């Protein structure tokens, strides 16, 4: 603990417990990225119990801490004069609001330095049920420069975060554009208003390959190491090569299961709402292997099916919901789609020339997205650097970055 650090327990104190009772107040939920949000905005509907009398009242400016805390699930309430949150959340007051900036403190409490502290101190044996005792939470050392410096640092971080948000929004809009192009050219696949041929996947696939899931290390593969993909590499329907675990050096890799550019991957097993995700691999680092929960769909040479089109078809919302209906399993948390059912799946197949035109248009969109991803990666790196400097004291006398950042 440095001379500029102050224990969190000297900055915040438990708020007086107030239950909602019969009060009708907005219901807030916690998100990792955006902090507290209206529950209806997060879930598109109310998910709270009909009886919210036990919910906790949180006033504007109070700190709400959720779980898992090691993922930074906490935020100051800035939306309403008063609202209610789950009784499982803890609520805290600032002891001296005139000496501590809420924006600065929230940034710190969600910073890598703070998250590392939480992770190291968590207690319990079940991963997402582990908790941080209150006394240990309050023992967290907080770097606390002058109030003016706190506000300036928060403004610097907010500025870069705003630029990151704009890049993410642009990528999201380009995703929507690709979906619009598909709908404009081919229509809703289940309605098939243009009367495209419908073929079972067995007619144009040479097979469906399964991966393997050996015991891996709890970290990413580095350098020339082999790695095994996690479900998260496909779950968002975009290929994320960084979602992998390193293969132990003593385990021989099965090179036949290595992922290559041009592969079409499909998650055969997951929770009911996440199963049947697919991702088209445009590029990838070498030495990454498929796990046994992910299929590779092998389109036959000469088949009248373009993989970019097939990926768009399989990820179209109505089509994916239909595919998810193929999943079976006794567990409510994990269901499975068999190879046999997937091979029998009927797909709408327009003329190959149209599919290729669609693929060209999507390639152009992907090129634009890659530019934004590159800029976003640079901003992410800048933000991480600024966070480190801000909370180690080296940013306290620097100038704020300009718009060029």
- Looking up residue 302, the CATH number of its domain turns out to be 3.90.220.20
Inside any domain, residue 187: no
Cα angle 62, 64, 66 (rounded to 5 degrees) comes to 180
Evaluate whether 147 touches 100 at the Cβ level (below 8 Å).
yes
Same domain? 93 vs 205: no
pLDDT in single tens digits along all 405 residues of the chain: 555 789 999 999 999 999 999 888 999 998 887 889 988 765 555 455 578 899 999 999 999 998 888 888 899 999 999 999 999 999 999 999 999 999 999 999 999 999 999 999 988 766 556 788 999 999 999 999 999 999 999 999 999 999 999 999 999 999 999 999 999 999 999 999 999 999 999 999 999 999 999 999 999 999 999 999 999 999 999 999 999 999 999 999 999 999 999 999 999 999 999 999 999 999 999 999 999 999 999 999 999 999 999 999 999 999 999 999 999 987 667 899 999 999 999 999 999 999 999 999 999 999 999 999 999 999 999 999 999 999 987 776 544 444 443
* Tokens representing residue 232 in the block: 């998260």
Q: Which residue has the tokens 């968590």?
A: 122
Tokens of 54: 């036990």
Contact in structure between 4 and 141 (CB atoms under 8 Å):
no
Domain boundary among 81, 101, 121: 101
pLDDT attached to residue 127: 57
- Tell me the pLDDT tens digit for each residue of 194-216: 999 999 999 999 999 999 999 99
Burial of 292 (0-12, 13-18, 19+ CB in 10 A): middle
Residue 178 lies in a domain: no
Shortest CA distance to 307 belongs to which of 285, 340, 276, 279? 279
Tokens of 179: 């979906």
Element (H, E) at 310: helix 307-315
pTM of the model: 0.74
Q: What is the pLDDT of residue 40?
A: 73
In a domain, 184, yes or no: no
Return the pLDDT at 329: 87
Does residue 299 sit within a domain? yes
Q: What angle do CA 263, 326, 239 make, to 5 degrees?
A: 25
Q: Is residue 344 part of a domain?
A: yes
What is residue 221's predicted lDDT score, i.e. its pLDDT? 95
**Can you point out the beta strands (E) in 127-268?**
141-143, 197-200, 205-210, 227-229, 244-246, 264-267
Give the residue ranges of DSSP H helices in 187-315. 307-315
Query: Which one of 349, 374, 390 terminates a domain?
Result: 349
Q: Are residues 79 and 213 in the same domain?
A: no
How many Cα atoms occupy the beta-carbon half-sphere of 249 within 13 Å? 3
Contact 20, 53 (CB under 8 A): yes
- Among the candidates 46, 79, 101, a domain finishes at 101
The parent domain of residue 220 ranges over: 200-349
Domain assignment present for 164: no
If asked whether residues 333 and 213 sit together in one domain, one would say yes
Domain count of the fold of the chain: 2
Residues 305-350: tens digit of each pLDDT: 999 999 999 999 999 999 999 999 876 678 999 999 999 999 999 9
Residues 87 and 211 in one domain: no
What is residue 211's three-state secondary structure? Answer: coil
- The answer as to whether 185 is a domain residue is no
Q: What is the pLDDT of residue 402?
A: 44
Distance CA 177, CA 181 (A): 6
| Strands 12-14 vs 28-31: parallel, antiparallel or unpaired | unpaired
Q: Residue 191: CB partners within 8 Å, gap ≥ 6?
A: none
> Is 128 a member of any domain?
no
Helix axes 147-186, 352-392, angle to 10 degrees: 170
Same domain, residue pair 86 and 215: no
**Residues 213, 327: one domain?**
yes
Q: Are residues 213 and 96 in the same domain?
A: no
């Amino acid at each position: 603990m440095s001379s500029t650090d102050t224990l969190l327990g000297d900055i915040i104190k438990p708020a007086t417990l107030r239950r909602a009772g019969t009060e009708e107040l907005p219901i807030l939920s916690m998100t990792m990225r955006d902090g507290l949000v209206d529950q209806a905005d997060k879930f598109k509907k109310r998910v709270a119990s009909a009886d919210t009398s036990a919910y906790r009242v949180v006033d504007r400016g109070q700190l709400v801490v959720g779980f898992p805390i090691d993922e930074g699930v906490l935020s100051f309430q800035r939306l309403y004069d008063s609202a209610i949150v789950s009784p499982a959340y803890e609520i805290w007051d600032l002891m001296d609001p005139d000496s501590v900036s809420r924006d600065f403190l929230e940034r710190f409490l969600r910073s890598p330095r703070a998250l590392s502290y939480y992770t190291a101190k968590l207690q319990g044996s079940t991963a997402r049920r582990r908790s941080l005792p209150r006394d240990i939470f309050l023992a967290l050392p907080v770097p606390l420069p002058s109030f003016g410096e706190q506000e300036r640092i928060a403004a610097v971080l907010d500025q870069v975060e705003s630029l990151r948000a704009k890049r993410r929004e642009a990528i999201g809009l380009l995703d929507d554009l690709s979906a619009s192009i598909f709908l404009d050219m081919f229509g809703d696949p289940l309605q098939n208003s243009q009367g495209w041929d419908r073929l079972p996947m067995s007619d144009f696939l040479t097979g469906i390959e399964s991966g393997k899931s050996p015991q891996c290390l709890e970290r990413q593969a580095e350098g020339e190491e082999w790695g095994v993909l996690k479900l998260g590499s496909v779950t968002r329907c975009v290929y994320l090569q960084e979602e992998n675990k390193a293969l132990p050096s003593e385990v021989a890799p099965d090179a036949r299961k290595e992922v290559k550019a041009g592969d079409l991957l499909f998650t055969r097993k997951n929770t009911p709402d996440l199963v049947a995700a697919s991702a088209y691999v445009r590029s990838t680092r070498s030495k990454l292997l498929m796990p046994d929960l992910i299929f590779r769909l092998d389109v036959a040479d000469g088949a009248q099916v373009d993989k970019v089109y097939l990926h768009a078809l399989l990820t179209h919302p109505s089509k994916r919901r239909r595919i998810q209906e193929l999943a079976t399993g006794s567990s409510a948390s994990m269901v499975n789609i068999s190879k046999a059912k997937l091979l029998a799946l009927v797909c709408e197949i327009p003329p190959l020339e149209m599919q290729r035109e669609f693929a060209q248009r999507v390639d152009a969109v992907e090129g634009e997205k890659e530019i934004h991803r590159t800029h976003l990666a640079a901003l992410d790196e800048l933000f991480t650097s600024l966070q480190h400097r801000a909370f180690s004291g080296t940013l306290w006398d620097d100038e704020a970055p300009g718009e060029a950042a």
